[in-house]
């Protein structure tokens, strides 16, 4: 109960700690229930990881893997005639195999990257008129794929004799998740194969305004994944992970200790998408191949 008391004092404004009516008691109860749920979830995940950990193994990705998408489903308001026409146009191009590189309408964009294991990828901000499933890429995810595509096209000589693959990782229930990192499902899995050795890298483009420092499980995952690699013990497979931040570094410089902040981010595999657009992808490959 000592820990919960300290959490209460962090979460509840001082004026709400004064008991003046039962409405505040209701607020306390809601906070207590929320904390208990979080505790139960973490305890469950810890025990599940403890049980499953010894049984982890590598396996080959097959065409029936849940991470592969056979189709997108669009639900459109029947009064949105322009959207119905354009979505049918995209559908026809995909079915007739006349789709080339990119297609867009409004804030929806379908695009190819030859190294992604299925085509196309779709970026879209769902609205009240059109809903897409599975969930489309968000802006940070789209930018990462386009940055990777640009880097690959501009450095093709660096990839001679190497095989590169990318796959969007689905969410809970279908994708690859890690209970060790708070039930973390990184957005992308990247493979680089060099002379029979596989470098498997989990990459998660995300905003960091709700992440509270280098001790967050998703940030520490770059260390956790190495522990998993050591447990699995295959010398021909190297595991890595990166957070690709679409939050500006200046907004979270407080994470550091005031000196060498940029190096601290690099050391913790936090890369910045906006400030280092033409460099962060190269940092990923340099880190991978340095092992």
Q: Looking at 120, 136, 152, which one is the last position of a domain?
A: 136
Inside any domain, residue 55 = no
Residues 246 and 154 in one domain: yes
Q: Could you give phi then psi for residue 184, rounded to 5 degrees?
A: -90, 130
Inside any domain, residue 62 = no
Give the global pTM.
0.79
| Number of structural domains the chain divides into | 3
Residues 28 and 162 in one domain: no
Residues 172 and 192 in one domain: yes
Q: Looking at 136, 153, 176, which one is the last position of a domain?
A: 136
Dihedral of CA 277/278/283/289: which sign?
positive
Residues 215 and 132 in one domain: no
Residues 93 and 213 in one domain: no
Kindly report each contact of residues 25-31 with a partner whose C-beta sits within 8 Å and lies 24 or more positions away, as own/partner.
none
Residues 180 and 241 in one domain: yes
**What distance lies between CA 21 and its chain's CA centroid?**
43
Q: Can you state the percent helix, strand and coil of the chain, rounding each to 5?
A: 45, 20, 35
CATH classification of the domain holding 232: 3.40.1350
Which pLDDT value is given to residue 150?
Answer: 95
Residues 234 and 102 in one domain: no
Inside any domain, residue 48 = no
Which pLDDT value is given to residue 250?
Answer: 86
Q: Bridge partners of 197? A: 194
Which pLDDT value is given to residue 6?
Answer: 40
Residues 123 and 253 in one domain: no
Inside any domain, residue 288 = yes
Inside any domain, residue 51 = no
**What distance lies between CA 166 and its chain's CA centroid?**
13
According to DSSP, the β-strands at 270-272 and 102-105 are unpaired
Residues 178 and 80 in one domain: no
Residues 6+ apart with CB under 8 A from 9: 17
Give the whole-angstrom CA distance, residue 188 versus residue 274: 19
Residues 161 and 215 in one domain: yes
Report the chain's terminal Cα–Cα distance, integer Å. Answer: 45
Which pLDDT value is given to residue 52?
Answer: 62
Residues 278 and 149 in one domain: yes
Domain that holds residue 209: 137-291
Which region holds residue 269: left if phi is over 0, alpha if psi is between -120 and 50, else beta?
A: left
Give the whole-angstrom CA distance, residue 289 versus residue 253: 28
CA-to-CA dists, residue 6 to 2, 10, 12, 33, 288, angstroms? 6, 6, 10, 15, 41
Residues 146 and 275 in one domain: yes
Q: What is the pLDDT along the chain (291 residues), one digit of tens a residue?
A: 333 334 444 455 556 556 555 666 777 788 888 888 877 877 776 676 666 666 667 777 777 788 888 889 999 998 999 999 999 999 999 999 899 889 999 899 999 999 999 989 999 987 788 999 888 999 999 999 999 999 999 999 999 999 999 999 987 767 777 766 666 889 999 999 999 999 999 999 999 888 878 888 889 999 989 988 998 889 999 999 999 999 998 888 878 776 678 888 999 999 999 888 879 999 999 999 887
Q: Looking at 117, 136, 155, which one is the last position of a domain?
A: 136
Inside any domain, residue 81 = yes
Inside any domain, residue 156 = yes
Inside any domain, residue 119 = yes
């Amino acid at each position: 109960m000592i820990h919960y008391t300290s959490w209460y004092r962090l979460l509840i404004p001082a004026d709400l700690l004064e008991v003046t009516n039962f409405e505040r008691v209701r607020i306390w109860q809601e906070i207590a229930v929320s904390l208990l749920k979080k505790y139960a979830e973490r305890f469950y995940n810890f025990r599940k990881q403890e049980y499953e950990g010894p049984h982890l193994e590598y396996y080959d990705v097959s065409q029936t893997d849940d991470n592969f998408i056979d189709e997108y489903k669009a639900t459109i308001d029947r009064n949105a005639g322009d959207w119905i026409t354009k979505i049918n146009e995209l559908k026809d191009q995909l079915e007739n195999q006349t789709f080339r590189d990119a297609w867009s309408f409004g804030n929806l964009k379908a695009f190819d990257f030859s190294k992604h294991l299925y085509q196309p990828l779709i970026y879209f901000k769902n609205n009240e008129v059109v809903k897409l499933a599975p969930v489309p890429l968000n802006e940070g995810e789209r930018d990462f794929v386009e940055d990777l595509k640009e880097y690959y096209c501009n450095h093709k000589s660096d990839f001679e004799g190497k095989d590169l693959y990318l796959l969007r990782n689905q969410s809970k229930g279908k994708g690859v998740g890690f209970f060790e990192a708070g039930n973390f499902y990184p957005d992308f899995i990247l493979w680089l194969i060099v002379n029979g050795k596989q470098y498997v890298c989990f990459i998660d483009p995300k905003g960091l305004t709700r992440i509270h420092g280098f001790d967050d499980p998703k940030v520490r995952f770059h260390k956790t994944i190495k522990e998993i690699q050591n447990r699995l013990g295959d010398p021909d497979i190297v595991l890595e992970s990166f957070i690709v931040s679409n939050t500006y570094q200046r907004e979270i410089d407080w994470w550091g200790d005031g000196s060498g902040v940029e190096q601290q981010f690099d050391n913790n595999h936090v890369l910045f998408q906006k400030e280092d657009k033409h460099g962060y992808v190269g940092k990923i490959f340099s880190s991978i191949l340095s092992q």
